[in-house]
């Protein structure tokens, strides 16, 4: 899933993102605003993840939520 798709469906993804990563705040989601790199940075910050792990988790999330992007 590319950044355009994630950004375009950001409102639908927000609830699922909060369920998946409960440490993220509404402010974190506002900053990320559908941009993968910003979301990865917030995951690194809140969960102490390395960049590769944050990216892996985002990719797995996207795979599970492909139906929202259609």
63 lies in which domain range? 3-69
Are the beta carbons of 39 and 20 closer than 8 angstroms?
no
- The residue among 56, 64, 47, 50 whose CA lies nearest residue 13 is 64
Domain total in the chain: 1
pLDDT digits (tens, 9 = 90+) for 6-56: 676 788 888 899 999 999 999 999 999 889 899 999 999 999 999 999 999
Q: Which pLDDT value is given to residue 3?
A: 60
Q: How confident is the model at residue 65 (pLDDT cuts 50, 70, 90)?
A: confident
Asked if residue 68 has pLDDT above 70, the reply is no
CATH number, domain with residue 62: 1.10.1470.10
pTM (two decimals): 0.82
Q: Which pLDDT value is given to residue 42?
A: 97
Write the DSSP assignment of 3-68 as a string of letters: HHHHHHTHHHHHHHHHHH-TT--HHHHHHHTT-HHHHHHHHHHHH---HHHHHHHHHHHHHHTHHH
What number of CA atoms fall less than 13 Å from residue 1's CA on the CB side?
Answer: 25
């Amino acid at each position: 899933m590319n950044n355009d798709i994630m950004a375009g469906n950001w409102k639908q993804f927000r609830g699922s993102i909060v369920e998946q990563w409960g440490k993220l705040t509404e402010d974190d989601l506002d900053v990320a605003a559908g941009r993968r790199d910003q979301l990865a940075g917030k995951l690194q910050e809140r969960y102490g993840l390395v960049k590769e792990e944050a990216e892996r988790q985002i990719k797995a999330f996207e795979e599970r939520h492909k139906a929202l992007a259609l």
